Structure formats: C-alpha cells, structure tokens
Amino acid sequence: MVEVLMLIVSIFVGLLLVAGAAALLVRARLAKTRQVLERRVRGDGDFVQLLVDNARYSGADSGYSKVKNNGVLIVGDRCLYFQHFIEKSPSIVLPLTEIQDVTLEATFRGELPALATGGYLVLHTTDNNRIGFLLKDPESVQTKIYELRNRGESATPLQG
C-alpha cells in the first residue's frame, strides 16, 4: 500500500515538474517575443503606447493566418502589432488608420472564451475584415486605440 502511494506521489510530482518547466519555457519565449516586437516597433519609428503580454489571436475573416496562437500585442502611435510567440517577426502590422471600429464581443467566429475572464477585442478594418483577439482586459486596448485615432478627443467610436 505504501509503495503504491509513493508511486502515485512520485508520478504527481514528476508531472508538476514537467508542467513547471513547460510554463517557464513559454514565459521565457513570450519575454523574448516582447523584446523582439518592441525593437521592431521602435525600428518602424513608432512608439509603444500599450503592450499586452498574453494576447490570443483568434483569427480573421480573411488575409491573416488561420492558426490561433498566443503572443504579444502592441498598440503603437501609428500601428497595431501582433506577433505569435513562436514566430520571429510580426504576423500582423495594421496601421491605426485602417481600423474602422473596435468592438468588444462575447464570442468571435463561434469561439467562446476559455475562461470567464476577459473577452474578445474585434478590429473592424476599412476593407471589411474582422480580426479578433482574446484578452484579459480588451477595454484598455479599445480605449487606447480610440484615443490614438481621435488624438485624445474622444474615448468613443472612431472618427474617420
């Protein structure tokens, strides 16, 4: 009986160690992705206005990757950037002038949030595309985009 209990405890501890190591690897990769993306933003002559470390790209109607993945989202003075944590360069560089509207939604493309926290930030572009991100605080990104597009005049829908 004691041997079985020790075996179960050993397996459990082993699984915790593997999960902990995986979490550390993902965290380190996200930190590296953040550094690379911040460098790219500065290289484009843009300034980081808002950085979201744990954003989940949830797809787009067209024109962007169908692969859903976690990464880093940056709202700059002129563009919105997103980079998957496994890629070496941004998968999305979208000028703020091409964002027609920003909405907060409970679902996106039939997908529900994994947890009750957060929600979907959906970018509506001038070419009638929608790009979705699952974020813990989508309102802060929406507000920042409105402020930058309207140059601080309004924190409500975008003015052309």
Pick 150 or 72 by higher pLDDT.
Answer: 72
Residue 40 and residue 45: Cα distance in Å, rounded?
9
Q: Is residue 25 part of a domain?
A: yes
Q: What is the pTM of this model?
A: 0.78
CATH number for the domain harbouring residue 9: 2.30.29.30
In a domain, 85, yes or no: yes
Are 138 and 120 a contacting pair, CB within 8 Å? Answer: yes
Within a domain: residue 24? yes
pLDDT at residue number 157: 52
Does residue 96 form part of some domain?
yes
Confirm whether 48 is domain-assigned.
yes
Please give the backbone phi and psi of residue 90, each rounded to the nearest 5 degrees, phi first: -60, 140
- For residue 87, the number of C-alpha atoms closer than 13 Å in the C-beta half-sphere is 15
Cα end-to-end distance, the chain, whole Å: 72
Residue 118, pLDDT score:
81
Mean pLDDT of 99-114: 82
**154 within domain boundaries:** no
> Mean of the pLDDT values across residues 51-55?
89
Higher pLDDT, residue 31 or 115? 31
Residue 31 lies in a domain: yes
| The predicted structure's pLDDT at residue 107 | 83
Tell me: pLDDT of 33 over 90: no
d(CA 80, CA 74): 6
What lies within 8 Å, CB to CB, of 36 at 6+ separation is 83, 88, 89
Q: Is the model more confident about 154 or about 93? A: 93
Is position 159 within any domain?
A: no
pLDDT computed for residue 124 by the predictor: 95
Question: What pLDDT is attached to residue 109?
Answer: 76
What is the number of domains present in the chain?
1
CA angle, corner 74, sides to 32 and 140, nearest 5?
125
Q: Is the pLDDT of residue 26 over 80?
A: no
Sign, CA torsion 130/139/107/58: positive
52 in Cβ contact with 111 (< 8 Å): no
| Residue 17 structural domain | 2-149
